[in-house]
Amino acid sequence: MKKWFFAVGLILIFTGFIIALIAYAPSEAKDYKKVTEARQKWSVSANLTKGQVIWVEIRQHMNWSVGLFDFDDELYPGFAILYVGVDIKDPYGKTTEFLMVWGILRESVYAPEILTRALTILDINVTRNEGGLDPTPFLIKSGNSSYYSDVGGIVQYNGTYTFTVGKIWPTRNDPPSVIWIGERLTWIEYPFTFMLPVGLVIIGGGTILTWFSLKRKKLKRKVSVKLKRK
């Protein structure tokens, strides 16, 4: 029984230390602060600072889901495709061009009873980069292929950047409902600090159990010595 108490005590101490260490595990938190936006327009400009991480959100016009679509059964089987280009021009006239692939299920295109036909972003890639924006913060690599999770990147120069939605194919006459420009903010936080008291309690319990098992062992030795002397 003594050995069992001792072993359990050590396990509790070890477990408590692990939980206490987890409490100090850092995690990167992200949020987006609005820089500017434009509604029912094809472009918007913003004065940016070198080093800012900019995120561009394009919200579709309700009429984009109506009309002609392209098809690519190899890459996007089952989808009707709309290609949307986003050009980001830096203060020196250099352009970073993103190509967004929006899609909608084919059956919903030809079903008049479906009133809401929202497009979904299927893919984003950079088709031209002249150096005014570094899009690598949004680059995702998967095996031998890569794509971008969002439109945006690290601003390379101080000054006015212009964000333009265009080169839509098949053509759409209506501009996006919103072009939203935001700055990505990141910081380090410790989301598991609530586990620290738990870890300390477990360490304390394990220490007491270990001390108790050792003390019982010492007491038994003293008793056995006294009996031998008698």
Residue 219: the pLDDT is: 46
Nearest to 46 by CA among 162, 166, 153, 158: 162
β-strands 145-148, 70-71: how paired? Answer: unpaired
Residues above pLDDT 90, as percent of the chain? 52
* pLDDT, tens digit only, all 230 positions of the chain: 556 656 666 676 677 667 767 766 766 666 778 999 999 999 999 999 999 999 999 999 988 988 889 999 899 998 999 999 999 999 999 999 999 999 998 877 666 555 456 899 999 999 999 999 999 999 998 888 889 999 999 999 999 999 999 889 999 999 999 999 999 887 566 666 776 677 677 777 667 766 666 665 554 554 454 444 45
Q: What is the pTM of this model?
A: 0.71
Give dist(CA 123, CA 101) in Å, integer. Answer: 5
Query: Please, what sign has the CA dihedral across residues 53, 156, 36, 55?
Result: negative
Q: What are phi and psi of 15, to 5 degrees?
A: -65, -40
DSSP string, 124-163: EEEEEE-SSEE-GGGEEEETTEEEESSEEEEE-SSEEEEE
Q: What are phi and psi of 66, to 5 degrees?
A: -120, 130
Helix pair angle (2-23, 195-229), 10° resolution: 160
Residue 204: the pLDDT is: 72
Residue 202: the pLDDT is: 74
Residue 96: the pLDDT is: 97
